[in-house]
Amino acid sequence: MDDLLAEFLAETREMLGAVGSELVAWEADPADRARLDAIFRFVHTVKGNCGFFDFPRLEALSHAAEDALAEVRAGRRSASPRLVTAVLAIVDRIGMMIDAIEAGEEIPARGDEVLIAALEPDSDDTAEAINGDTPDAHGARAAAPGTGSQRSIRLPIGLLDSVMSSVSDLVLARNDLSRRMRDAGVDPAVQGPFERLSTILDQVREAVTRMRMQRIEHLFGALPRLVRDLSAELGKQVMIDLEGGDVELDREMVEMIRDPLTHIIRNAIDHGVETPSQRLAAGKREIGTLHISARQSGNRIMLAIADDGRGIDSARLVEKAIAAGALSRAEADALDEAGRQSLIFEPGISTAAEVTSVSGRGVGMDVVRANIERVGGTIEVSSLPAEGTRIVLSLPLTLSIIPSLTVGAGDQLFAMPRSYVEEIVHGRAGHIEFARAGDAVLVTVRGKRVACLSLAAQLGFSNPLPPEDSTLVLARLAGGDLFALAVDRIFDHEELVIKPLAPAVMATGLYAGSTLLDDGHPVLMLDVAGIARKANLAGGSKRVRVAEDGLETKTHRGTPALLFVGLDGARRAVRLGAIRRIERVAASGIDLACDPPRVVIGDMLLPLAGIESGDAIPADQVSMLRLGDGASEIAFAIARIVDTVELPPDIAPARRGGVSEGTALIGGLPAEVVDTHWLFASLAAPPRALDPPLCRLPRDDQWARTILAPLIENAGYRVVDETFEGPADVTIATQADPVPDMGTGLVITLCADPEQATRLPGALYRYDRAGLLAALAALRGGRAA
């Protein structure tokens, strides 16, 4: 309400200033009907605003002025300098009251009746009213600037856009200059002022971006009336619950999502919420509920629309889709519940029993999804029969600055919104399988087969690289559809300023805008959803139908892994099966003071590995691997991804247990292999599960301490010696050091002579690694049982 009041004060002050000058001009030319109409509209708007905020004195003053002007418009009264003076006196009094409201002061209580009376045709009190009001007005206006209250001005939208564009160009020029300074090795004395200039420019850019932001309550404001009118038209009772109105969004984004949100609400009330009698029969409250919430998650806005209606009839959707030819019976049988529910985005499909003035024609949800995708957003639907439906829109904060991935096709550079990118893999990675059926190319990534498109081929380039020699960007569309886009190479992740293209270029459906890289190089922003639609992949309306027979399949074997560089600069690899997804999180969400360290990702607080207090942490965002074991997740901080690779069969084991399982030779260079089992045991397992079994070793045997102890610890045991008081789970004995009687458990004797080990029962050769590890593993298994 405070923000609305501030807008009211600013708008009223602006209108009062305008109406004052218009009154003076109208006094000079009373026959100017257009100017009189404009003055009347100004005063009428002020009256309406005062009534909305319950300012009865302001409303009475503006109402009196409006009545006097209405008499002139109707021809029942002629214009005169005395009337103009009386109206100007009321304008001044309203301005004085506005200043007092903004300053939080009491409004002077005298004089209103005299000013209103001065408007009467036969009044002679105009001069007295003006003279009596002037001291209060000047006093209030003189005090207003010293109150420290927030002031505001109104600017043309085009001017803000122009400033934003100029600041964006400055940022690009700054980045280009920074790169050139690094290459040229500039004097450190110049570097300091440049860093200060860079910081100031970032602050200006952030401030200008905030100017474009608007609270989403401006979008929410019209929704209660919409719900009320629709409910009355359909004979239903629906209560709307709004949450998160203080979330800010780019003003262009607010306008872009207005129509999609309206359509979703209309569908929810028409298709979802039942009539009062139906709800009572189903054991529900007579009044249905529509809950709309907004929240910010990183650089995204999550807008959720949930109703407590009948839910989506997925079986009916499937039958409608089959009847419309959108998919075959075999494809329908292969769909899971989420896939069946996503059929609501198919054009021409509706579950409505009859067509109404609100909906039922099967037109709209496909357009909703297309509009959401056009602004770089995604849409997800989930529904439970008889319980309701929830639709979640994930939207970027702004349309002008989009996190992007720059890619290459042929000799050209392109950008694509990072919100679409699910994963990046190389076509020659060991876990990738390609299949061909005619002109269609399919790729299987970790058991999931999806269509594969060549970006160069889609853009009409000659001699595109085969997918097997390309880098694959797995892109997920708003409806959940996944496909692979084969590009020649990946360049970088960047925050790009997007500008519109000529309508003729946008009409191709392949591009979403243009941008400049840091070096000033112009690139086109790809419309990922448009590319999928051109290839008949988006929405599932024209799916790639191939028979499994006769597929030409290229199979790779081996253990797939992701090769990356850690924050400490070390090369590491982790098996792909443990990676759930790759995230970019704000550095401010990392807490190294916890034990273990933690990081905020979305709505989750995850244990954090791969980062130490001495590591160089990026100032803005850090890349994270989200590792999962099926029940819990761990975040692993990385500097950058190198490639997807195959782990060799031979991994040199680490000497001690820890984050490194061992070292593998990858691409001719060593790389640590991350021990995910150790990570989850250390960071995600319950504390009692971390207690290792005890193994007692001879205290004075140097070979046992230096050679044997690391192997025992690697097997998951805690090593102790004879000074440890208490029983051990296993004791290792050598012939030179007999076992003392300490109530010990299992005893394993190690012999330096292989032949002697074969003659002694229960003895092992001390370098029989496999036999010793098997005995230790068997003991751990029996202890766990």
Quick: pLDDT tens for 299-313: 678 899 999 999 988
Residue corresponding to tokens 């253990």: 559
What pLDDT is recorded for position 292?
Answer: 92
Cα–Cα distance for residue pair 39/20, rounded to 1 Å: 9
What pLDDT is recorded for position 785?
Answer: 41
Q: 341-390 pLDDT, tens per residue?
A: 888 887 766 655 554 544 443 346 878 887 887 777 788 898 988 899 99
* Residue 420 phi, psi dihedral angles, 5° rounding: -80, -20
**What are the helix and strand counts (H, E) for the chain?**
24, 36
- Tokens, residue 362: 């099967």
Where do the domains of the chain lie?
Answer: 2-147, 157-211, 217-396, 401-554, 559-683, 692-784
Give the H/E segment covering residue 326: none
Give the H/E segment covering residue 107: none
Segment of 27-31, 80-84, 275-279, 764-768 carrying the highest mean pLDDT: 275-279
DSSP-assigned states of every residue in 395-411: EES-SSEEEEEEEEETT
What pLDDT is recorded for position 274?
Answer: 92
Torsion of CA 593, 597, 602, 603, to 10 degrees: -80
Could you tell me the pLDDT band of residue 478, with boundaries at 50, 70 and 90? low
Cα–Cα distance for residue pair 771/769, rounded to 1 Å: 6
Report the b/e string of 164-181 with b at 16+ CB within 10 A.
beebbeebbebbbebeee
What pLDDT is recorded for position 546?
Answer: 40
Could you tell me the pLDDT band of residue 784, with boundaries at 50, 70 and 90? very low
**pLDDT (mean) for 410-418:** 87
CATH of domain 2-147: 1.20.120.160
The domain made up of 692-784 has a fold known as Rossmann fold (3.40.50)
Could you tell me the pLDDT band of residue 542, with boundaries at 50, 70 and 90? very low
pLDDT of 221 strictly over 80: no
> First-to-last CA distance in the chain?
64
Q: 186-219 pLDDT, tens per residue?
A: 777 787 888 888 888 878 877 887 777 778 887 8
- Tokens, residue 155: 């600017």
Q: 570-624 pLDDT, tens per residue?
A: 899 998 778 877 777 888 888 888 778 888 887 778 899 988 766 777 777 888 8
DSSP-assigned states of every residue in 625-660: EEEE-SS-EEEEEESEEEEEEEE-S--EE-SSSSSE
Cα–Cα distance for residue pair 70/218, rounded to 1 Å: 32
217-396 CATH pick, 3.40.50.2300, 3.30.565.10, 3.40.630.30, 3.40.50.300:
3.30.565.10
What pLDDT is recorded for position 355?
Answer: 45
Cα–Cα distance for residue pair 621/698, rounded to 1 Å: 50
What pLDDT is recorded for position 614?
Answer: 67
DSSP-assigned states of every residue in 192-246: HHHHHHHHHHHHHHHHHHHHTEEETHHHHTTHHHHHHHHHHHHT--EEEEEE-TT
> How many CB atoms neighbour CB 39 within 10 A?
25
Top pLDDT among 299 and 693 is at: 693
Q: In one letter, which amino acid is 369?
A: R
What pLDDT is recorded for position 543?
Answer: 43
Is the pTM of the predicted complex or chain greater than 0.75? no
What pLDDT is recorded for position 299?
Answer: 63
> How many CB atoms neighbour CB 344 within 10 A?
27
Cα–Cα distance for residue pair 721/704, rounded to 1 Å: 10
32-36, 182-186, 686-690, range with the lowest pLDDT: 686-690
Task: Assign 115 to helix, strand or coil.
Answer: helix
Cα–Cα distance for residue pair 741/69, rounded to 1 Å: 112
What pLDDT is recorded for position 152?
Answer: 60
Instruction: Please determine whether the domains at 2-147 and 692-784 fall in the same fold group of CATH.
Output: no
pLDDT of 122 strictly over 80: no
What pLDDT is recorded for position 517?
Answer: 75
Q: Which residues contact 426 (CB under 8 A, 6 or more apart)?
A: 432, 471, 472, 643, 644
Q: Which residues contact 211 (CB under 8 A, 6 or more apart)?
A: 160, 163, 164
- Tokens, residue 237: 């009772």
What pLDDT is recorded for position 434?
Answer: 82
Cα–Cα distance for residue pair 516/520, rounded to 1 Å: 5
Q: 424-458 pLDDT, tens per residue?
A: 888 777 678 887 765 678 888 877 788 899 999 88
Top pLDDT among 429 and 265 is at: 265
Cα–Cα distance for residue pair 101/148, rounded to 1 Å: 13
Q: What does the mean pLDDT of the chain come to?
A: 78
Strand order in the sheet with 660-666: 640-647, 559-565, 571-575, 669-674, 660-666, 652-653
What pLDDT is recorded for position 67?
Answer: 87
Strand order in the sheet with 633-638: 579-586, 621-628, 633-638, 604-609, 598-601, 590-591
107-116, 532-541, 715-724, range with the lowest pLDDT: 532-541
User: Under CATH, to which class is 401-554 assigned?
Assistant: mainly beta
**pLDDT (mean) for 247-251:** 81
* Residue 183 phi, psi dihedral angles, 5° rounding: -65, -35
What pLDDT is recorded for position 390?
Answer: 92
**pLDDT (mean) for 151-176:** 75
Top pLDDT among 686 and 159 is at: 159
pLDDT of 150 strictly over 80: no
